[in-house]
Amino acid sequence: GLADHPEVVQAAKDAMDKFGFGLSSVRFICGTQSIHKQLERDIARFHEMDDTILYPSCFDANAGLFEAILGPEDAIISDALNHASIIDGVRLCKARRFRYTHMDMQDLESKLIEAKDARVRLIATDGVFSMDGDVAPLRDICDLAEKHDALVFIDECHATGFFGETGRGTIEHCDVHGRVAILNSTLGKALGGGTGGYTTGMQSVIDILRQKARPYLFSNSVAPPVVGASIKVFDMLSKGDNPYVAKVRDNTHLFRD
């Protein structure tokens, strides 16, 4: 119910009145306004991460991530049923690529062992898989990552805002706070239904992305109305008594049961 919620609509109007419809610029020229930095802080706080970087979409976030942070000496180990945007993003980077059978932890471990000589091993998975609704076994994935000195990346487009007790996604559902290094998600689904995406995670990763991620460097800044509305959405979701997550859960049970 957030896409046409009066408070969200008003926040978009207020942002447009103050900052204009668009900024006609990429972030590093004149496309960064105070509300962009505020939204990035709010997202990082919501996910309990160090920092956040905004993109025009999460497809762009996935396209910009792997090429910027991984090189030929690294390895990426990806679930076989990952979203198309993850697959395309992986194709852009020069890291060695390994694909493990969907949600098969034995096969994941075999790929981690095969990639043991890599400088960085990054496990990439959707949190909730979009086509079948499968939930990645994040606790087992994090256990294997820690056992084999790997990092974990998850795409939370189909979980952020409504999955988990307070809408904080698969990390919350699986209780792996602090064990996932990088998270990508969207502002265009549960979080108001507009557009925009983001990467949130380790400070060192976000710092690299601001310097090297092509979709960030060469795309216009997210429009002020979207940013203003998104700030309001995260504010509403961060309140302890918000009814929105429970409403989605109740509606799901109504149709399923």
Distances (CA, A) of 206 to 5, 8, 184, 192, 200: 31, 28, 11, 24, 7
Tell how many helices (H) and how many strands (E) occur in the chain: 11, 7
Residue 130 is a catalytic residue: yes
Residue 230 is a catalytic residue: no
Residue in 158, 185, 221, 230 annotated catalytic: 158
Residue pair 153/123 in contact by the 8 Å Cβ criterion = yes
Q: What is the DSSP string of 214-248?
A: HHHHTSBPPPHHHHHHHHHHHHHHHSTT--HHHHH
Alpha helices in 103-137 (DSSP H): 105-114
Residue in 5, 102, 110, 130 annotated catalytic: 130
Residue 25 is a catalytic residue: no
Residue pair 139/46 in contact by the 8 Å Cβ criterion = no
Query: What is the C-alpha end-to-end distance of the chain, expressed in Å?
Result: 22
Residue in 47, 83, 111, 189 annotated catalytic: 189
The amino acid occupying position 78 is S
> How far is Cα 36 from Cα 18, in angstroms, rounded to an integer?
13
Q: Where in the sequence numbering do the catalytic residues fall?
A: 130, 158, 189
